[in-house]
Amino acid sequence: MKSGLLVLMTVAVVSVGLHGMISKEFKSLEKKYVISVQYEHGRGI
């Protein structure tokens, strides 16, 4: 029983960590995109 619980906890921790990493990457990509769009508008394209 304990080993099953441990596996569940490990899976939960890994999935949360992955989700955090992915959302961080997504936010930085979003930021870069917004900056590049503003830059393009600033140059008058």
The position carrying tokens 């619980």 is 5
**Does the structure show a pLDDT above 80 at 1?**
no
CA dist 16 and 39 (Å) reads 34
pLDDT of residue 39 exceeding 70, the answer is: yes
Q: For 1-45, where are the alpha helices, taking DSSP H only?
A: 2-43
Rounded-to-integer distance, Cα 12 and Cα 21, Å: 14
Average pLDDT of the chain to the nearest whole number = 86
Q: Which domain holds residue 6?
A: 1-45
Mean pLDDT for 30-37 is 89
- pTM score: 0.49
pLDDT at 45 over 90: no
Amino acid making up residue 21? M
Q: How many domains does the chain have?
A: 1
